[in-house]
């Protein structure tokens, strides 16, 4: 009867799923079901406290505050299976927020006394309610996901949990920049160290000298040993803060292809971390793979490295790497591979007819690549007056594109993504012209906002950076252009149906599956990008953008965004690894029905957050546009 | 044999007397000036062998309690009634109840007595409620000599009234249903119908329909039970 149906409903709703059947039966005796038409205020900020815990059966509510200036501040959206009214029910004084039905909503009501009695008897449920809702959930789900996919029980997570400062073992050996090369080498030999930090007279590190410098710059070139070390030291120094995790240091070492990294603590030199230290910490290091990638001798061998990249990623996940660490590694490895592939292509078909820079944009630009090989890149080549050269260049890049498609981008899979589309191969002036036109006549053409993530990976990086800067400046300074960007972004916003059920594919190969990237990650990333562009935040990666938005602009929701993105990407990469292990081609499609309840709920939670962000986006449009 | 009879009779005697006696004094107790919000309602439905209340009879009663606009899914009533007239064959198909189901059911006087006990002082709610009320009323008069005293709200009449009074309700739902049967209304106003033609579920659908209407009544000046009964008369 209705009673059983109610019990069945509660059984699937955390934390009531933790309760024994008898408790549920007891609750249901006094449960009631109420209907709130869209737009009705259920609880009012400052008004009477809630006498019930409301659990949404259908529909959804908006939780918001009204500021002293009568501004409405969105706090949250809650939908099916979620609850509201708890805070004031427990405190008993007044309602903290306004709760409004944003669609027709049917809710179960558990009377206060009943709930409090249940909480008293059931510690687990009590704890659940006590914890901060969103965050505890994400963490729990992440742990569960991890357990589910990798069978992980304990394991060594040193790389991700050890701050760099702890990894530094020895007191650093330094030398003054005026010290002679011979003396510096002697000091290194004495202390059996492979690097020496060079400091200025006030003790501030200014450079580093390593074994490699001695070999390449001194011995190989026959340099006079009495010269000061200043002449052969590498600078500027690549530094990492002692508080950062070892993983960050490793990532930087991979990025700059260095084997030693300087650790600073509150601006002062603390020590050196070497690749060797990572081997000790980890047993193996992704640096080994980097070396391997750089030593590939033929395009045919590229394919063989893919499984190794997958294995590295899989290992990282098992060790508890956070998603942004993993995407960072994937991006670094992909870049290394990409560069090597181009080296090999050049070796085969000669150097390019014009100088050019290669850049990644979108996922790759943001250092957020996953394993689906959706790598988007572009070429900016040197301006030339010669049509002959232009023709040669076009042919050259056409061939290059084929090579990349066959190797890095899709490993030769038919129908793989177009990683280097023809429209993304242009001369500097053409690029500049394209960007300037967007600024001059906004709204006429679609603005490819993801160019805002363009990041140089080969060739002269300044060219690409200049282009990007002009684009960013135009967007930040021209209201109308920004409005177009916002409107375009909103068009891609998740449909309201997300509150009720996941919007899955209606037909085709991925029927009833959810495109996690397009429907979840992209809207989130796009929203953050706009918030960053509006404020002139220039960072590439979404995480860095979020950090900066929080630090410099006290932007709300940053913690939630961080968690949501972390969750979505973790889910996606786990899914891809699982596909790879089954011998399938990794993609972005997950079947929401295969997710555990908690995962589903967290997924919905993240979609709410996205909806909140899009609300904010819409509000940031200038009034002229809104009027239209 | 006499002991069994005494047991049954005694049992019945006790059950019949209390609730029905109490029920007969209902009209004096009712506070019709009380606000709708917080008042007790019982949404109910009966299954019948046919619509002719002289020839046909009830085969089940389903009901669910409401407090104001809140449905209490833990407080329901559903009983089969042992028929005293022959079952019509087509009726059996609709109700998905077989002869043997019904032969095992309780006699009508027992079910009615328990039903009266269940509804207490609540206002009844039904869709085309006069039909159900007629059947219950007739059986009660015949068995207990007391008719059904509870006032009742007809959700189909209330729907018509909302339609005519140009309420916000119509705008909220982007128009109203022109059909007036329970399931057309349920479909139009977003009520899930899981199991049709079972008195319990039909009562539940009726309760939800009533629940959909209630929030739109105050703005039309309907706030007390008296006003509600006035606009929802069959």
Percent of chain A with pLDDT over 90: 19
Helices (H), B99-224: 99-103, 108-119, 129-144, 155-164, 168-172, 182-188, 199-213
Containing structural domain, residue A35: 2-130
Euclidean distance between the first and final Cα of chain A, in Å?
52
CB B67 within 8 A of CB B145: no
Segment A136-159 mean pLDDT: 42
Please report the pLDDT score of residue A215 as a whole number: 84
Chain B residues with CB under 8 Å of A500 CB are none
H/E element, A533: helix A522-534
- Highest CATH level, class, for B32-231: alpha beta
Look at A157-166, A339-348, A377-386, A442-451 and tell me which has the smallest mean pLDDT. A157-166
Q: Is the pLDDT of residue B35 over 90?
A: yes
Same domain, A238 and A350: no
CB A178 within 8 A of CB A155: no
Which comes out higher in pLDDT, residue A247 or B1?
A247
Same domain, A279 and A298: no
Please report the pLDDT score of residue B85 as a whole number: 58
Q: Is the pLDDT of residue B1 over 50?
A: no
Which value, in Å, is the radius of gyration of the alpha carbons in chain A? 28
Domain ranges for chain B: 32-231
What value does the mean pLDDT of chain A take?
A: 80
Q: Considering the domain boundaries, does residue A190 fall inside one?
A: yes
Q: Considering the domain boundaries, does residue A148 fall inside one?
A: no
Same domain, A406 and A521: yes
CA distance B146 to A92: 47
Nearest CB to B73: which of A6, A35, A36? A6
> pLDDT-based confidence at A518, cuts 50/70/90?
confident
Q: Is the pLDDT of residue A427 over 80?
A: yes
DSSP assignments along A515-581, one per residue: EHIIIIIHHHHHHHHHHHHHTT---SSHHHHHHHHHHHH--TTHHHHHHHHHHHHHHHHHHHHHHHH
Q: How many residues does chain A have?
A: 628
Give the single-character DSSP code of B1.
-
Q: Which residue of B has its CA nearest to A28?
A: B74
Percent of chain A with pLDDT over 70: 83
Nearest CB to A2: which of B64, B67, B212? B64
> pLDDT-based confidence at A136, cuts 50/70/90?
very low
Residue whose token pair is 């590939």: A296
Same domain, A311 and A259: no
Tens-place pLDDT, residues A320-333: 678 888 898 889 88
CB A41 within 8 A of CB A99: yes
Same domain, A172 and A316: no
Tell which phi-psi region holds residue B127, choosing left (phi > 0), alpha (psi between -120 and 50) or beta.
beta
Q: Considering the domain boundaries, does residue A324 fall inside one?
A: yes
Same domain, A475 and A609: yes
The string over A197-216, giving b where at least 16 C-beta atoms fall within 10 Å of a residue's C-beta and e elsewhere, is bbbeeeeebbbbbbeebbee
Same domain, A107 and A169: no
Interface test with A, best of B64, B66, B73, B170 (most A CBs within 10 A): B73
> pLDDT-based confidence at B231, cuts 50/70/90?
very high
Q: Which one, of B125, B112, B196, B203, lies nearest residue B159 by Cα?
A: B125
For helices A323-349 and A246-256, the axis angle rounded to 10 degrees is: 10
CB B185 within 8 A of CB B169: no
Tens-place pLDDT, residues B140-167: 999 999 999 999 999 999 999 998 887 7
Q: Do B200 and A5 touch (CB under 8 A)?
A: no
CB A360 within 8 A of CB A376: yes
Question: What Cα–Cα distance (Å) separates residue B156 from each residue in A134, A190, B150, B179?
Answer: 44, 98, 18, 10
Please report the pLDDT score of residue A546 as a whole number: 92
Segment B171-181 mean pLDDT: 84
Tell me the ipTM for this assembly: 0.85
Segment A145-159 mean pLDDT: 40
Q: What share of chain A is helix, strand, coil (3-state, %, to 5)?
A: 55, 15, 30
Nearest CB to B74: which of A31, A35, A37? A31
Q: Which residues contact A494 (CB under 8 A, 6 or more apart)?
A: A503, A519, A520, A523, A607, A610, A611, A614
Q: Considering the domain boundaries, does residue A416 fall inside one?
A: yes
Chain B residues with CB under 8 Å of A35 CB are 69, 208, 211-212, 214-215
Same domain, A81 and A195: no
Q: How many residues does chain B have?
A: 234
Percent of chain B with pLDDT over 70: 85
Chain A residues with CB under 8 Å of B69 CB are 34-35
Same domain, A300 and A248: no
Which comes out higher in pLDDT, residue A87 or B126?
B126
Q: How many CB atoms lie within 10 A of CB B13?
A: 11
Nearest CB to B73: which of A3, A36, A104? A3
List the structure tokens of A160.
Answer: 């991700």
Q: Is the pLDDT of residue A71 over 80?
A: no
The string over B92-106, giving b where at least 16 C-beta atoms fall within 10 Å of a residue's C-beta and e elsewhere, is beebebeeeebeebe
Last residue of a domain, one of A76, A111, A130: A130
Structural domains counted in chain A: 3
Q: Do A2 and B73 touch (CB under 8 A)?
A: yes
Same domain, A308 and A277: no
Q: Considering the domain boundaries, does residue A137 fall inside one?
A: no
Same domain, A227 and A371: no
Tens-place pLDDT, residues A340-399: 899 988 888 888 999 999 999 999 999 999 988 788 999 999 998 888 998 999 899 988
Q: How many CB atoms lie within 10 A of CB B133?
A: 21
Q: Considering the domain boundaries, does residue A155 fall inside one?
A: no
Q: Is the pLDDT of residue A483 over 70?
A: yes
Tens-place pLDDT, residues B80-120: 998 765 555 545 545 566 677 777 889 999 999 999 999 99
Q: Considering the domain boundaries, does residue A264 fall inside one?
A: yes
Please report the pLDDT score of residue A432 as a whole number: 93
Same domain, A117 and A24: yes
* CATH number of the domain encompassing residue A8: 2.60.120.10
Q: How many CB atoms lie within 10 A of CB A246?
A: 23
Which comes out higher in pLDDT, residue A297 or A256?
A297
């Amino acid at each position: 009867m209705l009673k059983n149906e109610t019990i069945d409903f509660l059984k699937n709703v955390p934390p009531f799923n933790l309760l024994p059947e008898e408790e549920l039966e007891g609750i249901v005796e006094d449960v009631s079901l109420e209907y709130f038409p869209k737009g009705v205020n259920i609880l009012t900020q400052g008004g009477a406290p809630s006498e019930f815990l409301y659990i949404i059966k259908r529909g959804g509510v908006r939780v918001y505050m009204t500021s002293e200036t009568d501004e409405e501040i969105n706090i949250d959206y809650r939908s099916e299976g979620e609850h509201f009214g708890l805070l004031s029910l427990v405190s008993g004084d007044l309602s903290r927020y306004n709760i409004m039905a944003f669609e027709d909503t049917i809710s179960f009501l558990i009377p206060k006394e009943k709930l409090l009695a249940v909480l008293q008897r059931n510690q687990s449920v009590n704890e659940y309610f006590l914890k901060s809702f969103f965050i505890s959930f994400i963490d729990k789900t992440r742990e569960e996901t991890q357990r589910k996919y990798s069978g992980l029980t304990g394991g060594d997570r040193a790389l991700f949990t050890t701050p760099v400062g702890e990894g530094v073992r020895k007191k650093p050996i330094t030398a003054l920049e005026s010290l002679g090369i011979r003396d510096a080498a002697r000091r290194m030999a004495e202390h059996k160290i492979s690097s020496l930090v060079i400091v200025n007279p006030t003790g501030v590190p200014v450079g580093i000298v390593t074994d490699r410098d001695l070999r390449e710059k001194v011995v190989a070139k026959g340099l006079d040993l009495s010269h000061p070390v200043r002449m052969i030291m590498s600078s500027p120094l690549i530094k990492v803060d002692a508080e950062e995790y070892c993983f960050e240091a490793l990532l930087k070492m991979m990025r700059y292809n260095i084997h030693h990294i300087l650790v600073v603590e509150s601006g002062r030199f603390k020590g050196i971390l070497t690749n060797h230290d990572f081997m000790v910490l980890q047993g193996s290091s992704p640096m080994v793979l980097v070396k391997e990638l750089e030593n590939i001798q033929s395009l045919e061998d590229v394919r063989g490295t893919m499984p190794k990249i997958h294995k590295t990623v899989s290992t990282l996940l098992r060790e508890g790497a956070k998603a942004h660490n993993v995407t960072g590694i994937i991006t670094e490895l992909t870049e290394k591979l990409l560069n090597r592939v181009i080296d090999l292509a050049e070796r085969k078909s000669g150097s390019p007819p014009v100088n050019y820079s290669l850049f990644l944009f979108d996922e790759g630009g943001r250092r957020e690549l996953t394993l689906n090989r959706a790598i988007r890149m572009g070429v900016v080549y040197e301006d030339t007056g010669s049509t002959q050269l232009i023709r040669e260049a076009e042919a050259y890049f056409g061939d290059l594109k084929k090579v990349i498609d066959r190797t890095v981008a899709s490993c030769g899979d038919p129908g793989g993504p177009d990683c280097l589309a023809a429209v993304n191969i242009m001369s500097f002036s053409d690029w500049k012209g394209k960007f300037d036109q967007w600024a001059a006549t906004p709204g006429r053409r679609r603005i490819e906002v993801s160019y805002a993530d363009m990041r140089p990976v080969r060739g002269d990086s300044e060219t690409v950076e200049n282009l990007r800067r002009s684009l960013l400046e135009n967007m930040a300074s021209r209201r109308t252009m920004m409005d177009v960007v916002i409107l375009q972004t909103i068009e891609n916003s998740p449909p309201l149906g997300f509150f009720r059920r996941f919007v899955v594919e209606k037909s085709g190969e991925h029927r009833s599956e959810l495109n996690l990237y397009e429907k979840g990650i992209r809207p989130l990333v796009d929203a953050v990008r706009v918030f960053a562009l509006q404020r002139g935040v220039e960072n590439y990666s979404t995480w860095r953008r979020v950090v900066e938005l929080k630090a410099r602009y006290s932007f709300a929701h940053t913690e939630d965004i961080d968690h949501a993105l972390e969750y979505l990407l973790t889910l996606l990469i786990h899914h891809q690894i699982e596909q790879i292990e089954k011998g399938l081609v990794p993609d972005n499609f997950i079947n929401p029905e295969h997710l555990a309840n908690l995962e589903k709920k967290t997924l919905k939670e993240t979609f709410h957050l996205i909806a909140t962000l899009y609300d904010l986006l819409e509000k940031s449009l200038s009034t002229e546009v809104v009027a239209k | 044999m006499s002991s069994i009879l005494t047991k049954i009779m005694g049992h019945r005697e006790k059950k019949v007397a209390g609730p029905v006696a109490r029920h007969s004094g209902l009209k004096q107790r009712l506070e019709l000036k009380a606000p709708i919000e917080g008042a007790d309602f019982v949404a109910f439905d009966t299954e019948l062998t046919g619509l002719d209340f002289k020839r046909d009879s009830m085969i089940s009663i389903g009901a669910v309690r409401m407090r104001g606009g809140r449905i209490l899914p833990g407080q329901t009533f559903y009983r089969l009634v042992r028929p005293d007239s022959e079952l019509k064959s087509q009726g059996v198909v609709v109700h998905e109840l077989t002869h043997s189901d019904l032969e095992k059911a309780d006699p009508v006087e027992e079910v009615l007595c328990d039903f009266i006990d269940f509804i207490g002082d609540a206002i009844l709610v039904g869709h085309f409620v006069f039909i159900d009320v007629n059947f219950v009323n007739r059986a009660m008069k015949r068995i207990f000599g007391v008719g059904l005293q509870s006032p009742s709200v007809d959700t189909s009449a209330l729907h018509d009234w909302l339609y005519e009074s140009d309420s916000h309700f119509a705008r909220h739902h982007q128009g109203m249903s022109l059909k007036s049967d329970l399931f057309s209304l349920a479909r139009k106003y977003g009520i899930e119908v899981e199991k049709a033609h079972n008195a319990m579920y039909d009562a539940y659908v009726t309760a939800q329909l009533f629940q959909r209407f209630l929030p739109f009544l105050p703005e039309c000046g309907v706030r007390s039970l008296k006003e509600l009964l006035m606009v929802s008369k069959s």
